[in-house]
A and B are shown apart, each in its own frame.
Chain A
Amino acid sequence: MLARTRTLAIVGVDATGVDVEVDIRRGLPAFTLVGLPDAAVREARERVRAAIVNSGFEFPLQRITASLAPADLRKAGPGFDLAIAAAVLVAGGQLEGAALERWWLAGELGLDGSIRPLSGVLAMAEQAGHLDGDGIAVAAANATEARLVEGLRVASLGGLRDLVALASGEVPRAPAPEPSPLRGGAPLPDLADLKGQPGLRRGLEVAAAGGHAALVVGPPGAGKSLAARRLPSIMPPLSRREAIEATKIASVAGRPCRDGTLASRPFRAPHHTISTAGLVGGGSPPRPGEITLAHHGVLFLDELGEFSRPALEALRQPLEDGAVTIARARGSVRFPARFQLFAAANPCPCGHGEGSPRCGCSPERIRAYAARLSGALADRFDIALGVEQPSAAALDGDPGESSEVVAGRVAAARKAQRVRLGEGRSNATMSDRDIAETAGLDRDARSRLVDGHASARLSGRGWMRVIRIARTCADLAGSRAVTADHVDEALSMRRRGGR
């Protein structure tokens, strides 16, 4: 007898439909699985057999062939268990197929017949919503995540036995286990912790308001990492669409959403020893890298000068496109990667800076380090800011402005950009054409730029960079026009050098 059920497979950070066909005929007892299964999928045979028996069903001692279609898609992971087991039960005549066939089934089986949660369920549920069918049936622990997709029927299964109800037209609602107390949003660290340091605060605010990639250079203890970790707290909250995307990516990467709260702005701080594949994504099948995990959030590269050259070079194209395409012989996968880049570096290898009496670096080493820094992706940064350790007086003083206050200004500036440039755009993404049409430089600002071009070695690209930053300064000040003062501020914090 032949039976067919449906499930979903993760490709990149999206899901795609997979048909499971099971054929049972007489012959020596055997269970074959075809359709490019990986090791975990092949092991499904053992789990399915044990789960069926332990749920009180009968495992047919006949020749069973299970096929996963499309056959050319490499299948990975344990998520096909439930659909295979269901098809075996339908083909063996133990369950009615008509209703079951219309559900998307996604779950891993335990040997006792329980259904275990998967990662990437939000992506599957989203895809199930687009495709035709009655709804998606998932493990009880995944049901909350699947319900984030509006208008989708979600069956929550506690064990394989719940398929009986599903097959008879009911929608089982097994209760979800208690979410782990470890999860649940710890509040974001607050900018008030950053004492003194007005320059660093200003740089952070401008970067957040305009979406500008920023590089902060200063000795250890200057508050670079402290500031970076507070960047998400001053960025505007994610829209629902953005939050769903971020949650979906987190889920695919193995951090499923258990309690139904959507992700807040991701903050990723990979260590500088990270490989290129780890940073931009890769492997086979391709897995998302740090830049995709930082989608709609912040990617913080501490010790920028220590990252491997190839890894940094690989960031160029995603920074430009907001996505990365990983090509493999079996097709390519596109990962979204629209993130705010924030990097920190020491001024010299020892960290104290060339001018400091405590610096023990030789000029050669300093020069080599400077060359590394200026080579490493430097042309992708709009803002470069030198910082110092805060003075004792500042550390002893009152806390600075809180994140809430700064976030308010940033949100207002972002709103102005949205009105001018369109949904989801920021000043950092202004094209030359946008600048010509909407930058709004007044007369003085223009002549200031011309002066800067003549004497401050401002290149063509640097010119555009200054206009973008100046526009953000004007937005933060709530000014319609970009004035000479805004241009001056932008000139002082723009990144130098490079082409």
Chain B
Amino acid sequence: MSAETESTGAAATDRRRSGPACPRCARRGFLLSNLAGRIERSVGERAGARARDLLALDDERLAAAIAPADWRRRLREAGAAARAAAAGPPGDRRPGEEAERRRAGAPRAAEAGRGGGGWSICAHSPLPAALDVLDASRPHALFGRGDRELLAAIEPKRAVTIVGARRAGPYGREVAFELGRALAGAGIVVVSGLALGIDAAAHEGALAGGGATLAVLGPGAERAYPRSAGGLYRRVLDSGAAISELPGAPPTFRWMFPSRNRLMAALSGLTVVVEAAERSGSLITAEMAGDCGRIVGAVPGPVSSWRSSGTNGLLADGAAVIRDARDALDALLGPGADPAPITGPQLGVEGAATLDAVETGAATPDAVAVAAGLELGSALRALATLERHGYLTCDHGGRWTRTMLQAPAPSAPSAGCGSR
């Protein structure tokens, strides 16, 4: 815990030192905001492929292609907004500039400065090297909130992207949660998109695992999207970061999501699709990951379930089979590699007996107490402790089951925590 606090502190000083993205690079973000509606009309149904091609163009060509009539004016506006954003507190600005900035899609001055507020980085700050795989469509600048250092230090070998269906089933949510929790516990940064369903479960898991998680958002990092994820968004900011290619909180358009997906695909060395239907945004992310040479993995699901048709398809096409965090680490780092133990804490005698009882099928406190040879009170306390350490879960009906977390091999008797 204390190590994290320190790193956040370090990030805060770093942020001040390195300053925001330079106006030249930040202009791209403001330009995209400015042109957002036009881009939406231009890419039509094929948002995935078209948006990537468009984003590969430089500012002038992009503006001219999208808004042939008034591209110079829009470019000027975006440039002014970027300069204004870089200029600092609104008090220094000339009159009328704020209105101009707003028109160009910049965040309200008050919003940008709120609570430690947003930050931005660009190629000169510099951007994470991981994004280089995007070649021409590499973002010029990124706008974010939360722990800036997390983004600056991200390495593909230490990050896993978890994506999947918004309409996820309990199976997918459980797997995503456990993957997020175990990977975060192993010191891996969990990257996802804050969407409902799988994305949210992955973020929740990473937070529960006490690790850092990065939310990559389409329409700006200054607010939660979807709005219902507000609570999760704040918790992600507390121990991680949210980033976006677009500044402020621009209106939302469909093309923003596939273009955000390419960032998620590039930032990590492995993209895991947990549950996805046949035609879905998660498959676009997987395709993009494959295109940039990243590893693609998928969690197998029932062949009869529409929710798993996309992931099973990926597996048929040769994606890595991801059954648990161990598989994910093997895919990311090579078989057998072990960045950090992903076993839980050492267990005491009662804890081990209780875990054993649940593993052999005891689901209720009475059954556990009998199988473990414990008094009811001790069994109840041991169950609570094992749940807290992540070994067990309990459903709404009070029945206990085992999670994927492995217990460490019994070592010399030490300060066991299973019995406390």
A residues neighboring B (CB under 8 Å): 196-200, 202, 215-218, 345, 347, 353, 355, 363, 367, 370, 373-374, 378, 384-388, 391, 448, 451-452, 454-457, 484-485, 487-489, 491-493, 495-498
How far, in Å, is A29 (CB) from chain B's closest CB? 70
Q: List 11 A-B contacts (CB under 8 A).
A: A373-B396, A386-B400, A388-B364, A487-B384, A488-B380, A488-B384, A491-B384, A491-B388, A496-B394, A497-B395, A498-B396
User: Which residues of B in the span 346-363 have a Cβ within 8 Å of any Cβ on A?
Assistant: 361, 363
Residue B390 is within 8 A (CB to CB) of chain A in the complex: yes
Residues of B within 8 A of A345 (CB): 397
Across the interface, B381 reaches (CB within 8 A) one of A215, A488, A498, namely A488
How would residues 226 to 258 of chain B score, 1 for a CB under 8 Å from any chain A CB and 0 otherwise?
000000000000000000000000000000000
Residues of B within 8 A of A456 (CB): 384, 387-388
Residues of B within 8 A of A353 (CB): 363, 399
How would residues 51 to 86 of chain B score, 1 for a CB under 8 Å from any chain A CB and 0 otherwise?
000000000000000000000000000000000000
B residues neighboring A (CB under 8 Å): 169-170, 204, 208, 210, 302, 361, 363-367, 369-370, 376-377, 380-381, 383-385, 387-390, 393-400, 420
How far, in Å, is B296 (CB) from chain A's closest CB? 27
Q: Cβ of A385 and Cβ of B388 under 8 Å apart?
A: no
Residues of A within 8 A of B370 (CB): 391
Q: Cβ of A452 and Cβ of B388 under 8 Å apart?
A: yes
Q: Cβ of A455 and Cβ of B398 under 8 Å apart?
A: no
Residues of B within 8 A of A485 (CB): 377, 381
Residue among B370, B380, B400, B420 facing the most chain A CB atoms (10 A cut-off): B380
Q: Cβ of A384 and Cβ of B380 under 8 Å apart?
A: no
Residues of A within 8 A of B420 (CB): 484
Q: Cβ of B383 and Cβ of A355 under 8 Å apart?
A: no
Complex CA gap A347/B393 in Å reads 16
Complex CA gap A214/B210 in Å reads 32
How far, in Å, is A400 (CB) from chain B's closest CB? 12
Residues of B within 8 A of A455 (CB): 208, 210, 387-390
Q: Cβ of A454 and Cβ of B397 under 8 Å apart?
A: no
Q: Cβ of A386 and Cβ of B384 under 8 Å apart?
A: no
Q: Cβ of A198 and Cβ of B366 under 8 Å apart?
A: yes
Q: A199-B364, A355-B399 are in contact. List 11 more A-B contacts (CB 8 A).
A: A196-B366, A200-B366, A215-B397, A353-B399, A373-B396, A384-B397, A455-B208, A489-B377, A493-B365, A493-B380, A496-B396
Complex CA gap A378/B398 in Å reads 12
Residues of A within 8 A of B390 (CB): 455
Q: Cβ of A492 and Cβ of B397 under 8 Å apart?
A: no
Residue among B210, B361, B383 facing the most chain A CB atoms (10 A cut-off): B383
Known contacts: A199-B365, A386-B365. The answer to whether A497 contacts B396 by CB under 8 A is yes
Residues of B within 8 A of A370 (CB): 170, 395-397
Residue among B366, B387, B390, B394 facing the most chain A CB atoms (10 A cut-off): B366
How far, in Å, is A446 (CB) from chain B's closest CB? 14
Across the interface, B387 reaches (CB within 8 A) one of A374, A454, A492, namely A492
Known contacts: A384-B396, A455-B208. The answer to whether A492 contacts B364 by CB under 8 A is no
Q: Cβ of B170 and Cβ of A217 under 8 Å apart?
A: no
Residues of B within 8 A of A488 (CB): 380-381, 384-385
Residues of B within 8 A of A196 (CB): 366
Q: Cβ of B380 and Cβ of A492 under 8 Å apart?
A: yes
Complex CA gap A493/B366 in Å reads 12
* Closest chain B residue, CB of each to CB of A457: B208
Q: Cβ of A491 and Cβ of B398 under 8 Å apart?
A: no
Known contacts: A388-B366, A485-B381. The answer to whether A217 contacts B399 by CB under 8 A is yes
Known contacts: A199-B365, A200-B366. The answer to whether A386 contacts B399 by CB under 8 A is yes
Residues of A within 8 A of B385 (CB): 488
How far, in Å, is A490 (CB) from chain B's closest CB? 8
Complex CA gap A218/B398 in Å reads 9
Q: Cβ of B210 and Cβ of A454 under 8 Å apart?
A: yes
Complex CA gap A363/B301 in Å reads 13
Across the interface, B398 reaches (CB within 8 A) one of A363, A386, A451, namely A386
* Closest chain A residue, CB of each to CB of B365: A199
Q: Cβ of B384 and Cβ of A355 under 8 Å apart?
A: no
Complex CA gap A347/B400 in Å reads 12
How far, in Å, is B175 (CB) from chain A's closest CB? 15
Known contacts: A451-B388, A455-B390, A457-B208. The answer to whether A495 contacts B396 by CB under 8 A is yes
How far, in Å, is B364 (CB) from chain A's closest CB? 4
Residue among A199, A353, A355, A373 facing the most chain B CB atoms (10 A cut-off): A199
Q: Cβ of B365 and Cβ of A217 under 8 Å apart?
A: no
Residues of A within 8 A of B377 (CB): 202, 485, 489
Residues of A within 8 A of B398 (CB): 215-217, 384-387, 493, 495-496
How far, in Å, is A95 (CB) from chain B's closest CB? 67
Q: 9 nearest interchain CB pairs?
A: A217-B397, A386-B364, A386-B398, A491-B384, A199-B365, A488-B381, A199-B366, A384-B398, A492-B384
Residues of B within 8 A of A218 (CB): 364
Complex CA gap A451/B377 in Å reads 20
Complex CA gap A103/B364 in Å reads 62
Residue among B376, B393, B398, B399 facing the most chain A CB atoms (10 A cut-off): B398
* Closest chain A residue, CB of each to CB of B370: A391
How far, in Å, is B360 (CB) from chain A's closest CB? 11
Q: Cβ of B384 and Cβ of A198 under 8 Å apart?
A: no
Residues of A within 8 A of B389 (CB): 455
* Closest chain A residue, CB of each to CB of B376: A198
Residue among B369, B377, B400 facing the most chain A CB atoms (10 A cut-off): B377
Q: Cβ of B210 and Cβ of A347 under 8 Å apart?
A: no
Residues of A within 8 A of B388 (CB): 448, 451-452, 455-456, 491
Across the interface, A374 reaches (CB within 8 A) one of B367, B394, B396, namely B396
Residues of A within 8 A of B380 (CB): 199, 202, 488-489, 492-493
Across the interface, B363 reaches (CB within 8 A) one of A215, A355, A484, namely A355
* Closest chain A residue, CB of each to CB of B169: A367
Known contacts: A386-B400, A387-B366. The answer to whether A496 contacts B376 by CB under 8 A is no
Complex CA gap A488/B420 in Å reads 9
Residues of A within 8 A of B170 (CB): 367, 370
Complex CA gap A182/B384 in Å reads 49
Q: Cβ of A492 and Cβ of B363 under 8 Å apart?
A: no
Complex CA gap A43/B381 in Å reads 67
Complex CA gap A118/B95 in Å reads 84
Residue among B169, B365, B383, B420 facing the most chain A CB atoms (10 A cut-off): B365
Complex CA gap A388/B384 in Å reads 19
Q: Cβ of B208 and Cβ of A454 under 8 Å apart?
A: yes
Complex CA gap A108/B84 in Å reads 88
Complex CA gap A391/B383 in Å reads 21
Residues of A within 8 A of B365 (CB): 199, 202, 385-386, 492-493
Complex CA gap A439/B381 in Å reads 20
How far, in Å, is B238 (CB) from chain A's closest CB? 12
Residue among B376, B384, B397 facing the most chain A CB atoms (10 A cut-off): B397
Residues of B within 8 A of A497 (CB): 395-396
Residues of B within 8 A of A367 (CB): 169-170
Residues of A within 8 A of B169 (CB): 367
Complex CA gap A73/B266 in Å reads 75
How far, in Å, is A235 (CB) from chain B's closest CB? 22
Complex CA gap A446/B396 in Å reads 24
Known contacts: A217-B399, A489-B377. The answer to whether A387 contacts B387 by CB under 8 A is no
Complex CA gap A484/B381 in Å reads 9
Q: Cβ of A355 and Cβ of B361 under 8 Å apart?
A: yes
Residues of B within 8 A of A386 (CB): 363-365, 397-400
Complex CA gap A211/B56 in Å reads 65
Residues of A within 8 A of B383 (CB): 492
How far, in Å, is B79 (CB) from chain A's closest CB? 46
Residues of A within 8 A of B395 (CB): 370, 496-497
Residues of B within 8 A of A495 (CB): 396, 398
Complex CA gap A298/B129 in Å reads 65
Complex CA gap A455/B370 in Å reads 27
Complex CA gap A221/B293 in Å reads 58
Q: Cβ of B208 and Cβ of A388 under 8 Å apart?
A: no
